[in-house]
Amino acid sequence: HATLSVSLSIFLISAELDTVKQHKEVLISSSGQPFPWNHMRLPKTVSPLHYDLGIHPNLTTLDFTGVVRIQLQVHEDTGVIVLHAKQMQITEALLLAPEGVRPLRVLEYPPFHQLALLSDTLLTRGRTYEVLLGFAATLSDSFHGFYRSSYHTSSGAVRVLASTQFEATFARAAFPCFDEPAFKAKFTIRIIREPRHIAVSNMPTVKTVALPGGLLEDHFDTTVKMSTYLVAYIVSDFLSVSRTTQRGVKISVYAVPEKIDQTAFALDTAVRLLDFYEDYFDIPYPLPKQDLAAIPDFQSGAMENWGLTTYRETALLYDPDKSSPSDKLAITKVIAHELAHQWFGNLVTMEWWNDLWLNEGFAKFMEFISVNVTNPELHVDDFFLGKCFEAMEVDSLPSSHPVSTHVENPMQIQEIFDDVSYDKGACILNMLRDFVTPEAFEIGIIRYLRRFSYQNTVSRHLWESLTDKWYSGDELDVQAIMDTWTLQEGFPLVTVEVRGREVRLSQERYLKTDEPSLTDGFLWQIPLTYVTSASSTIRRFLLKTKTDVLYLPQEVDWVKFNVDMSGYYMVHYEGDGWNAIINLLQHNHTVLTSNDRASLVHDVFQLVSVGKVRLDTALELSLYLSRETETMAVTQGFQELVPLYKLMEKRDMAALENRMKSYIVDLFRGLIDRQEWTDSGSVSERVLRSYLLLFGSVRNYPPCVEKATQLFNAWRASGGHMSLPVDVTMAVFTVGARTPEGWDFLFERYRTSLQMSVKSRMKVAMAFSPLQGKLTRWVMMEQSLRGEVMKLQDLPDVLVTISRNPHGYKLAWDFLRANWHTLIKKFDLGTSLVAYMVNGVTNQYSTTEMLDEVKLFFGSLTEETGSEMRCIQQTYETIGDNIRWMDAHLPHLQAWLDKRSSHTVHEDL
């Protein structure tokens, strides 16, 4: 019987190898033998039901050992189990079958992070088995997998902790597992620790057992069925504060002991948000607790591990006296995002990473829905448009990708954690909600979550859940509409021409390119909305074809499409359309909402880039901004105008650059002069104040510089103990960092401060100093890569800020090149922080010489060192677009500023 079984097994493995050969060449394992699988994705012959995982991290030797028992369901007869493991030593491999315990032969194929376990007995379809694997590895020194983190106490002592970050493909670096989102299973976790530490995981502790040698072992309750990327555990010396929600879920916030007094706001916010989501989704939160942990070293903003969400310290810790309104808004949104994931992502999970947007776009969208209700004082709606504009920036390049996009390898998976998946995903959901009505949308979402709880989905399942009988009894085909937004990249530009009562409509892809053919073949179903001079009632029209015509009840002076910019598209007003809008803004801008005004500012300047509108038309429209007071419209004015002189800073054209800077200061002078150097007003008013005073200070507007200098000197004289108004600290620090003594004082305060939000502002101020020697010190000091004074996680921000500093941009580019291999090892290929550094450091270059230099460096990379990353292609396209813009529009800019100067002089005379 045993001999027969062995023969069968050998036959089966040979058959599987034959199948592999038919598909592709055989891969060779690290031991030199053929590897019985040749796909990046795992086979579906077996699937995990339950993991029993024991982990023992050693925070002194910085390594860990573990044992995992995986209960498996067999779907096809097989002699091979293929699963994931990355950079770990397998110390033991056993098959626990009903017939007894047998050893498994282990083959590794490191390029795919795969292990093959070869059994000499056949695993029979329909039966369950267990495999036991012993393993050992080093705690990672990156930000992924099971990694080490550390912090300094106020007395200078170093404390070490270990934490996890498994999304997207890093659970395999912590324990052998089936590391794909569709392989959902339950997890029972045990962690061995020293008594001076605590351990937390997804579920509450059931018991703690004393072990020989003075160690303790925490046993955690079994999780619900979930994907590997959501497993989490932390071993640390953190303290916590706790409260309970209305339904009895225990919420705890964990932080390093000296910062535990900065956790009250997060705790209160999390309780309110969890209560909101239970009500909105009409599904109880399925776990007994929800922990929020502030990790000293953390690459992204936060992570939604089920029951144990993890955060950057700046994304969770809040000091009522030192944190700003924008800090409060950001922290609230991050918590809202991670808690939305507990349903959308954790309870219902995308089948594969190509539909990541189902998780991220939805969580980003829910930030605004939930915070609007739970924290109305934050006026979160004022900031939603910015997300759509950011998404369009990336989505207007030829290298963009569809929201739902094919990905296979870990680098490609990491790359789609970008503005398209998050921000475009949120914007198209907002457009759909506006179109089908918020009530119908909410009903559809609840239907989706209930139907697919503990399962995996594709985009189609969401559209089916949102499809309902429409007003007239016709069924609205949500999928037909939304497929045009998720399965093709880019977005439409709708051109509107009004002739009497007739409105002619046409659509094309908006694309920044010098290859017009790339816009061919795109067609969207666009839910258009519009208001006119005759009626503020929002009217709707679904544009399904390349061109169409709609009829107004009467002739009008002006029409504004995409009301409040609830749709993810741009609008061009042909004929006399832009002049009518400019006239309206000049004489009565408040007839339109501030979102409408912001979208007009955005669209008109973006249309200059593709040659649809003359630059002087856009600049004429910008003149109305001298009377604008609303945050979104003012900040959008800055977003469109400031890049124009930033492009000039990288060329030798100081005269024109300074005239452009003067124009912007003049435009907003009245609004800047009205700002008080205090912390009064609403959140939006305070965010705007901070923005305006910083701009005035950076641009050397004398009243701002004088006031900021006076406040900095007084603050410095007090040894940094004087209480500055929070809203003005960014301006004060930035002016203070201009002198060597001021910079050194800020650096010393930065080194010793425990206030995360204050440190963030000091960091930016020091990076924007004109003192090149200090900039060199700030970036080039070894500590920036070792993370001693400045945390490694903060380096990308510092680098990008220096690249925007006219005195530092070359320094940032040199640093990126010199340290490229270290940076991609620490931050990992394809991650958003690598893309942020690449784009941030290069996206203001506008000369063919710099484009050649950038291409020379990135062209010298191999696939292993990042040559295939999308952000490199984006960089080439952005610099190319900048060059085209400068060549086409600089003469117009010069002429318009000349004309304006002569008008101003004439008026003065």
Annotated binding site: 337, 341, 360
Q: In what order do the strands lie in the sheet with 145-152?
A: 145-152, 158-165, 233-236, 198-201
Q: Give CA–CA dist 644/650, Å, rounded.
A: 11
Q: How many CB atoms lie within 10 A of CB 829?
A: 20
Q: Give CA–CA dist 510/527, Å, rounded.
A: 17
The single-letter code of the amino acid at 651 is R
Q: Are strands 34-35 and 27-28 parallel, antiparallel or unpaired?
A: antiparallel
**What are the strands, taking DSSP E only, across 514-609?**
526-532, 539-543, 547-551, 559-561, 570-573
Q: Give CA–CA dist 285/342, Å, rounded.
A: 8
User: Any idea which residue has 């709880």 for tokens?
Assistant: 453
The angle formed by the CA atoms of residues 242, 248 and 252, to the nearest 5 degrees, is 20
Q: Give CA–CA dist 596/617, Å, rounded.
A: 18
Residues belonging to the binding site for Zn(2+) are 337, 341, 360
Burial of 304 (0-12, 13-18, 19+ CB in 10 A): buried
Q: What Å distances lie between residue 781 and 775, 776, 786, 789, CA to CA? A: 10, 7, 9, 10
Bridge partners (DSSP) listed for residue 349: 456
Calculate the CA dihedral of residues 551, 553, 555, 556 and round it to 10 degrees: -100
Residues 6+ apart with CB under 8 A from 714: 722
Catalytic residues: 338
Q: How many CA atoms lie within 13 A of 364 on its CB side?
A: 28
Q: Give CA–CA dist 21/43, Å, rounded.
A: 15
Q: In what order do the strands lie in the sheet with 547-551?
A: 547-551, 502-509, 492-499, 570-573
Asked if the peptide bond before residue 168 counts as cis, ω within 30 degrees of 0, the response is: yes
